[in-house]
């Protein structure tokens, strides 16, 4: 017989799958880990991970490094609740030069706007 925790966990994952389907998130590289109902909003905890790409500078192989701090992405309202996706993005490091790169997805901008580079 299954324990109560297993049954509760299964119900939460079914709700998570339902919410992901409603939101229309189709990126296969995003792994959804958990779902929290904070009362005023719902939070989805996820990570973005895929195989290491080639280095853009030297065309050498990059290695998986670690994960960045969570991005908090406000998303569409789902069933009258606001939805927040807490996404951790994988970082990659070049084996030759040591340069870093970050995994990319259409949910998050590549880089935040830099206001110091504007011309007067």
Percent of the chain with pLDDT over 70: 63
Of 78, 102, 105, whose CA–CA distance to 90 is shortest? 102
Task: For residue 77, give both structure tokens.
Answer: 């309202």
Tens of pLDDT, residue by residue over 53-84, are: 888 888 888 888 888 878 888 876 655 678 88
What is the mean predicted confidence (pLDDT) over 89-94? 89
Kindly list the domain boundaries of the chain, sorted by start residue. 4-106
Task: Report yes or no: 73 and 47 within 8 Å, Cβ to Cβ.
Answer: no
Task: Give the rounded distance of the alpha carbon of 13 from its chain centre.
Answer: 17
Average model confidence (pLDDT) across the chain: 74
d(CA 71, CA 64): 19
* pTM listed for this prediction: 0.65
């Amino acid at each position: 017989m299954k324990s109560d925790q297993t049954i509760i966990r299964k119900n939460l994952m079914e709700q998570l799958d339902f919410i992901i389907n409603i939101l229309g998130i189709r990126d296969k590289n995003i792994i959804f880990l958990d779902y929290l109902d904070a009362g005023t909003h719902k939070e989805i905890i996820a990570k973005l991970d895929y195989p290491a790409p080639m280095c853009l500078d030297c065309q050498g192989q990059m290695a998986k490094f670690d994960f960045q701090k969570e991005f908090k992405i406000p998303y569409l309202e789902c069933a009258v609740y606001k939805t927040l996706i807490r996404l951790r993005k994988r970082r990659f490091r070049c084996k030759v030069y040591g340069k870093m790169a970050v995994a990319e997805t259409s949910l998050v901008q590549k880089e935040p706007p830099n206001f110091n580079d504007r011309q007067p």
